Amino acid sequence: MSKVQLITHDLGSELIEKIECADTVCILSSFVMKSGVHYLKEAIKRAAQNGADIKICTGDYLYITQPEALEELLSIDERISIRIWKSNGVSFHPKAYLFQSTEHDTLFIGSSNLSRSALNHGVEWNLSVRDEKEVFDEALTEFLNVFYSDRTGSLNKETLAEYKTAYNEYHRKYPNLSRKWTELEELDLMLPSKEENQPQVVLEDPVVYESAIQPRFAQIEALEELNKTLEEEYNKALVVMATGLGKTYLAGFFAQNYKKILFVAHREEILYQARDSFKRIMPEKQYGIYNGKIKESQADAVFASIYTLSIKKHLEQFQPDEFDLIIVDEFHHAAADSYKSALEYFQPRFLLGITATPDRNDNRDVYAICDGNVAFRLDFLEAINRRWLAPFKYLGVYDDTDYSQITWLGNRYDEEELLLAQLKEELALKVLRAWEENKQAKTLSFCSSIRQADFLSNFFNKHGHKTVSLHSQQTGTSRKNAISQLSKGEIDIIFTVDLFNEGVDIPSVDTLLFVRPTESLTVFTQQIGRGLRLHPGKEACVIIDLIGNYRNADIKLSLFDTEPGEGKTRNIQPTLPEFCTINLDVNVIDLLQEMSRKRQPRREKLLNDYLELKKELGRRPTYLELHLKGRSDSPQYKQEFQSYFGFLRWAEELTDREVEVFDRYEDWFNEVERTGMAKSYKMVVLLAMLERGQLYWFDDITSNQTAPFFHHYLMEKEYRKRIDFSDKVAQKLWNYDEKGVSKLISTMPMTKWSGSSKGLISFDNDTFSLNFDVAKADEEILFNWTKEICEYRLHYHFERKAKNFQTH
């Protein structure tokens, strides 16, 4: 039976009682004080030890949250997930406490932040709502939207240090905090919400035959490559297909091979769209939705919200091996924290990621989740060449805004400063004239903020055009009506903020207008895709883009280059698909050339990209993590510093003890890092040595001793066997023959490596030896670093070779 209660004092006692018996604990507090953490600490610790799923979210608004409080939270239990909302000056005032147990769902909401006075003896008003399922589910969904928002970041040792620095600087700059608080309370930037109300979706139009839907175009090729992947015994794969080519239907066709399916997405409307697509392919199956409001878990194919699955209680409604196939839609999101627990929990026979834009500049770590196995790739440039998407005519219009004077906040510009630069009539007039001279019939315009969208819509309307501003705070025009009006030609432009990045299409759009800096190459690619769908009467999509001296301006045009190559990453005039054109203002050409000349030196970029990854992980990344998740290509570290650990020494990222070890064994690290590898054999021998453990790995080894591990490793995975163990000599050894394998090892890796190692390695009388002494105190570091390099080189070798196989 539901119950609502007003609580005006001692909320903390109620919270402690609920925390200690809850399976799920979600705390959303605008401010966190050390006193409040102390007050709840023991209860939270006991709940974590009992296996509760605990999520805590707070904000950096006015830097009231104490660094000591965050440090205390981090120390309670490593299983607790803590995130910080980056307010950028916008007020952040939620106070909510949610608890789920086997008996009750309870929500507390009101005025109490996480401080002792607010929880114990202060004047506070809060409501307790128990067992109101609809209200609780809605509150939990809203909590998860905030918790996993793009504007939150994970709290770890690195981000805590960053927060401490910002906190101290803010309080030094604003000692009179109460007055500043009042000023900022008056400010309303009307910023966009990433999780919007559900938009109306224009479904992909499949080819429908009288009997059944059949694969078409790129789907046919992609299915062939996925089947090859299965034959090669991969259990994970990524498919990259441009927007408009039917990724959802491809997933449905592939899913026909599996009995129990889980389809995961981060937007509610994608779940329903995918379910309907799958139904058309496999009408005989039972389908279920699993999200914040609907829990249909007993079905052949379950379509689940990743936010709902991020709650342990919901995740554990399913067995780890319950699904034969898991499909993750818009896979470029899969590296986010919201996906981590689900991807680690489930053990499917096969994991398929599908996406249009896994841009490695923005989020290379998506490749790590699929072990670097890209089964099929067809980007929008190739799709244009094949006439499956419309060509484009790109116009670069000069924007004289000085973005170097606008604060960069790590992944976006400061909204307040950006608005001051953007909301000017002379800039709006330039945009209007460029649009009037080049537009076609139906325009979609991408803006930085809601206020900019409203400002430009009003400005265009005053100049005789029919436009609407469409965003999360829109009250006059519904999204469905706006889309319908644009499609029918009743309005000229929709000005929007991130509503049409993914999952929503208006195929008739023939003009794109960009009035925002390109902060993310992935988002820019998604937005370009909104105008490339084929549609009757559309010969090409006109792209009108304001280009100023913002970040990424000098590399964004490389996205249009069909022949990027190693030496062409800074092309101002790229090689285009057929029937496509690029025209740039003279000032734009001068600007891009100047920006390209001033690009930060290579070493500085490598360091910055490394530090970004270190901050994301909260610790120093391993070499393989640097490769899979870092923004710079990992070989650049070897090219510049001889080895990854050479880079770490240069970057002062090693402890004094580690510096001693590096200096003592530098030649060895460089040798393992740089020895030539036409095949994987050298590193497989080294891995066999390392398998003996820290104390014995550097002892001598014979080819006979190496043979069992060597053979098993290369035969264990079909792709290893196919790539490195399928020549005429090796094929004869597929059925294990110790003598034959030993002879191969002694002839190839052991003899060849000893001959090229400048004395570091020898091979005599069938004995493979390392010719340097290892001090007892150095054993652990030397072992771990050698293993890091070995594992990286093996992964990189097979990843690179697999790509070569795919292209031949």
Q: Specify the pLDDT at position 470.
A: 87
587 within domain boundaries:
yes
Q: Is 601 helix (H, G, I), strand (E, B) or coil?
A: coil
Residue 9 lies in a domain: yes
Q: What is the CATH number of the domain that holds 158?
A: 3.30.870.10
Task: Take residue 558 and report the two structure tokens written for it.
Answer: 């490389």
Both 107 and 15 in one domain: the answer is yes
Structure tokens belonging to residue 500: 């049409």
Give the number of C-alpha atoms closer than 13 A to the C-alpha of residue 86, restricted to the C-beta side: 21
In this structure, what token pair is assigned to residue 403? 């973005």
24: in domain: yes
Buried b (16+ CB within 10 A) or exposed e, 68-95: ebbbbbbebbeebbbbbbbbbbbebebb
Q: Are residues 116 and 264 in the same domain?
A: no
Do residues 290 and 302 touch, judged by C-beta distance below 8 A?
yes
Q: Which two tokens stand for residue 663?
A: 């200096």
Number of domains in the chain: 4
Helix axes 157-173, 67-76, angle to 10 degrees: 160
Q: How far, in Å, CA of 19 to CA of 108, rounded?
A: 12
Distance CA 680, CA 726 (A): 13
Q: Are residues 698 and 589 in the same domain?
A: no
Cα distances from 143 to residues 293, 296, 404, in angstroms, run 14, 21, 35
Using an 8 Å Cβ cutoff, are 554 and 599 in contact?
yes
User: If you search the block for the tokens 């043979």, which residue do you land on?
Assistant: 707
Are 99 and 23 within 8 A, CB to CB? no
155 and 72 within one domain: yes
Nearest alpha-carbon partner for 674 in 793, 803, 795, 770: 793
Cα separation of 388 and 391, whole Å? 9
Whether residue 296 sits in one domain with residue 311 = yes
Q: Which residues, at least 6 apart from 420, have a Cβ–Cβ distance to it below 8 Å?
A: none
Of 428, 444, 446, residue with least CA distance to 541: 444
Q: Do the strands 95-100 and 24-29 form a parallel or antiparallel pair, or are they unpaired?
A: antiparallel
Residue 16 in tokens? 């402690």
Residue 613 belongs to some domain of the structure: no
Q: What's the CA gap between 100 and 22, in Å, rounded?
A: 5
Domain end position, chosen among 597, 615, 642: 597
In this structure, what DSSP letter does residue 413 have?
Answer: B
Q: How is residue 318 annotated by DSSP?
A: S
Q: Does 659 lie in the same domain as 556?
A: no
**CB atoms closer than 10 angstroms to residue 195:** 18
* 202: in domain: no
Closest CA to 92 of 197, 191, 198: 191
**357 and 417 fall within a common domain:** no
Residue type, 624: L
pLDDT tens track for 677-693 = 999 999 999 999 999 99
Query: Per the structure block, which two tokens stand in for 191?
Result: 């910023």
Same domain, 223 and 307: yes
Task: Pick the last residue of a domain from 384, 410, 445.
Answer: 384
Sheet containing 493-496: order of strands: 467-470, 493-496, 443-446, 511-514, 541-547, 392-398, 581-584
**279, 399: one domain:** no
- Establish if 630 belongs to a structural domain: no
Query: What is the CATH number for 554?
Result: 3.40.50.300
Cα dist. 689→697, 755, 775, 798 in Å?
Answer: 5, 19, 18, 20
CB 56 within 8 A of CB 36: no
Q: Which domain holds residue 429?
A: 389-597
Report how far residue 427's alpha carbon sits from residue 358's, in angstroms, rounded to the nearest whole number.
33
Q: How large is the angle between the packed helices 779-806 and 681-690, nearest 10 degrees?
A: 150
Share of the chain above pLDDT 90, in %: 57
The pLDDT assigned to 561 comes to 84
Is residue 607 in some structural domain? no
Residue 196 lies in a domain: no
DSSP state of 334: T
Question: Per this entry, what is the length of the chain?
Answer: 808
- Cα dihedral value 753, 757, 760, 763, nearest 10: 30
The neighbour count for residue 43, using CB atoms within 10 Å, is 19
Q: Quick one: angle between helices 247-255 and 218-231, nearest 10? A: 40
Q: What is the β-pairing status of strands 541-547 and 392-398?
A: parallel
User: pLDDT tens digit string along 264-294?
Assistant: 998 887 899 899 999 999 999 999 999 877 8
Tokens linked to 428: 């709006």
Q: In sequence order, what DSSP letters do the residues of 134-194 get, joined into one string?
A: HHHHHHHHHHHHHHTSTTEEE--HHHHHHHHHHHHHHHHH-S-HHHHHHHHHT----PPPS
Instruction: Mark whether 350 and 442 lie in a shared domain.
Output: no
Q: Identify whether residues 47 and 168 lie together within a single domain.
A: yes
Nearest Cα residue to 37 out of 141, 131, 94, 115: 115
Pair (172, 243) in one structural domain:
no
* Residues lower than pLDDT 70 in the chain: 1-2, 89, 176-212, 334-336, 358-368, 372, 410-411, 472-477, 498-505, 564-572, 598-601, 803-808
Q: Domain end: 384, 403, 438, which one?
A: 384
Task: Beginning with the edge strand found earlier in the chain, give each strand of the sheet holding 152-154 in spatial order.
Answer: 3-7, 126-130, 105-110, 95-100, 24-29, 53-59, 81-85, 152-154
